Structure 1
C-alpha cells in the first residue's frame, strides 16, 4: 500500500512539475540573443509606424484623456474589466526596458518579460502571424519614435480566482496557433497580401469572428466558414465580412470595400461604433494597394446562404405607413418620422454615401440588436478623414427617448422596407443603457507621434 501511495505522489509531483514548467516557461523568439543595433534608420521607423497603423495599436492603448499609447482604456469582459497597458518607452511604467525578444514575446505570444500571461484582449492570436520584419519595425517605432509617458498601469477588477493568469498558458495551447503567416501557393500575390493584413496585424477576426464559451475565436483563418462570419462583442455586433448577401459583403463590390476602408463610407454604409475608431486611426492611413488587397481577399470569402437566409428585397410599402394619416397608428413610426426620417428618408435609403441606408442594412437584417440600440443610445463618433470631421454624425438619443420609444422605433426600422431583423424589447434597451458609458462615443483621432 505504501508503494502505491508513493507512486501516486510521485506521479502528482511529476505532473505538477511539468505543468509548472509549461506555464512559466518563456516562448522562444527568433530575436533571442539579438543585440541592440542602436538608432534605426528613418525608413525602418516610418515603416514601423505604418505597421502600428495596421494594428490600430493606438485605439486600445490610449483614451480620449491620455497621451498616445499611455494605456488606461477599460475593456469589458464576462469576468470583469481589464485596462490596456502603457506601451510607451517609459522605463518605469512602460516598455522602455523591453528587448526586441521581450517585445516579440508580448506581441506574438502574449507573455510579458517576467512570464506573466496577457489576456487575449491583446490580439496575439492574430499577431502571432506577423512577420519578423514587421515585428522588428514595430519595436523600432515604439522605442525610438513614440514619446515616453510616465503613466502607471491599472489593475484589472477581475476577482480571485478568475484573475489568476497561469491558466492562460493552457488557453493558449488549446486556442492559438503558432507560426507566421504562410502564403498560399494557389492564390496570387494580391490575395496573400490581403490575407496577411486581415489575419495578422489587422486582427479583423478579433471582432468579426464568433467566440466560444472560453472567449476563444472559433476560427483563425479562412479555412473555416466561421471566420469573419460576424460576432457580438462588448455592446456592438461586428457584421460578417464574408459574401453573405444580407448580413455581410455580398452586395458590395471590391471597390465598395476599398472605399469603405479608405473613406469611411460608401453607398451601403458609414463606419460607426468600433469601426469608426478603426477607420479614424487605422485604415485611412493604409496604402491604396494594401486596402485593395484587403478588399480582394474579403470578396473571395464565400457566404453561407443557409445561415444568411433568403436574399433581401426592397419593399416600398413602408413609405405609405409613414404618411401623416398612418404613422400615429404604427408603433415607432411617429418617432421615426420625428427623429430619423429627415436624414435616413421615408424610403429608408439614406442620402447617398453621406447618410447610410437603413433599408437592407446588415444591422437591420441580423437578429442581434446590440449595434442599433447602442448607436441610438450613444450616437456615433464623427468620421474624421484627413484630419477633417464630417458633418453628419449620428446623434445620441439617450436623454431624449425612453427605453420603450427606442425599442418601438428600432422594431419599426427592423421590420420596414423588407427588413426582417426582428423586434427590439425595452428590456434590451435598458440593459445596454446601463452597460454603456454615455461618453464612450466621444470622437477622437489620436496622433501617434
Structure 2
C-alpha cells in the first residue's frame, strides 16, 4: 500500500491501446497479435494493482515516461521510462527481457536495477500476469521518447555490479505458490499483498543491506511498519493500537476503496496508492487483500495497554488552554476539524483519538503531515473536500512539537511526546528544494 510517495495520474495511461514501433532488425516485441490485444485490459488492471504509474510517471509528465526523483540511502535516483519507445523506453524488450527486469531486477542490457524497484516482491508474480503486463506496456501505453536521467549517486556507490551479490543474498526467486490449508481468498490476498501490491516495500522494516526484513508472513517483521523517506508506513498486522487490530474487515475494505474510515485517513504516499491503485480494484480482490491482512498476528506497537477512549483529562485541558502550550495550538488550529472530543468527523475529517498513526511509536508521519499537509484523495474523480493543510509556514518547531505531544497524550492515546529537535530535522529534510 506503498509510497510510500507519489500523487500522479494512472488513469490517463489506460485509455486507448497504441502500438509501439519495433527497432529495425530486432525481435518483434511490439508487434501486436490478437492474443496480445486481448490481454491489454487485463494488463492495465494489473498495472493499476501494482501502482506502476506512481513511480514511473513524474508530476506533469507523460504516463510511464519516468523522471520521478526518488531518495535512497545512497543518493537520489530517477525512475526510468517504461513506455514502448524503442530508443529510450522498453520497446525493444521481448517478453523474456521484460520478465527478467520485473522479477529479477536485470535490464535488457544486463545492468542491475536498484532495489528501489520492488522486484523482490514482483518475483512472486506468476507467468500469466507477467504476460498480461507485457501486453499492456507494449500495446496499451503510448510510446514517449524521453531519455533516462543518470542518478545523483556518486562513485563508487553508483556502481551496479555489487547488486548481483545483493540479489544472491536477498532475492527469493519463484512465483507465489498457494499455501496448503488456506482458502482461495486468503491465497489470492497473499499473492496480491506480497506480489504486485508490494505492500512490504514500504510497510516492512529494512535490514542493514536495505533489504526487507521479511517477504511474507513467515517473518515476524513483515508489515510491522517502517520509516521511509520522512514517513512512517503504518503497521498492517493485528496489533491493537498502531496496527489493524481494532479494524473490522469492512473498515479495511472501506479504507482501501476510499482512503478513509472511522479510524484514519490516508496521507503521504498512501494517498497515491488509493488514488492510482486500490480504489480501482475489484471488490473480490479488495476482500481477498483484507482477508489476508486481517489474518496477520499482532507485531510491534509501542508497548502500551490496549487503547480505550477516555476524553475527560483532555477536555479539562481544552477548557483551560492557557495552561497548556499544546492545547493552545490545538484550539487555534486543529479543533475545528478534529473536534474537542478528538473524534473528528470521520470519514471526511480524520479522528485523532485512537488513530493508529497517532498511537505509533514513531511520530514521523504526524510531524511530516503537520508540516507539509497531504495531497488530495481523489475518489471516482472527486477530490476530498478537506485535505490536511501544511503548517510549516505558520507554526514553529516548538509549537508543532507541543501540539503533537498534546494529541499523542490526549484522549487516552498514551503515545510518547514529540521533541522540537525531531520537528526541526524533518522540516529541514522535507522542505529542501521546495
Q: TM-score, normalised by structure 2?
A: 0.91
**Secondary structure of the structure 2 residue equivalent to 1:185:** coil
Counterpart of 1:222 in 2: which secondary structure?
A: coil
Say yes or no: does 1:435 pair with 2:429: yes
Q: Pick the aligned partner of 2:414 from 402, 413, 420.
A: 420
- 1:282-314 C-alpha deviation (Å, 9 max, x unpaired): 000000000000000000011037865421121
Q: Which residue of 2 aligns with 1:12?
A: none
2:301, 2:360 within 8 Å by CA — same for their partners in 1? no
CA RMSD of aligned residues (A): 1.7
Per-residue CA deviation, residues 24-72 of structure 1 (Å, 9 max, x unaligned), is: xxxxxxxxx9987733444310000000001000000112121111111
Q: Distance in 2 between matches of 1:35 and 1:279?
A: 32
- Identify the match of residue 407 of structure 1 among 383, 401, 421: 401
SS at match of 2:428: helix
Count of residues in correspondence between the two structures: 406
Structure 2 spans left out of the alignment, 5+ residues: 1-26
Match of 2:355 among 333, 357, 361: 361
1:282 corresponding residue in structure 2: 277
**Structure 2 residue 81 is matched with structure 1 residue 82:** no
> Alignment partner for residue 266 of structure 1, among 261, 285, 293?
261
Aligned to 1:113: 108
Distance 2:414 2:358 in 1: 7
State the partner residue of 2:184. 189
Which residue number in structure 1 is paired with residue 323 of structure 2? 329
Query: Which structure's relative contact order is higher, taking Cα pairs within 8 Å and 6+ residues apart?
Result: 2
Give the aligned partner of residue 319 of structure 1.
315
The match for 1:339 among 333, 338, 349 is: 333
Map 1:194-205 → 2, pairs under 5 A: 194-205=189-200
1:126-154 residue CA offsets vs partner (Å, 9 max, x unmatched): 00000101111101101111111111111
TM-score by length of 1: 0.88
Q: Secondary structure at 1:75's aligned position in 2?
A: strand
CA distance in 2, matches of 1:98, 1:308: 50
Q: Does residue 1:174 correspond to 2:169, yes or no?
A: yes
Report if aligned partners of 2:204, 2:221 keep a CA contact under 8 Å in 1.
Answer: yes
Residue 243 of structure 2 is matched in structure 1 by: 248
- Structure 1 gaps of 5+ residues are 1-32, 441-449
Q: Tell me the secondary structure at the aligned position of residue 227 of structure 2.
A: strand
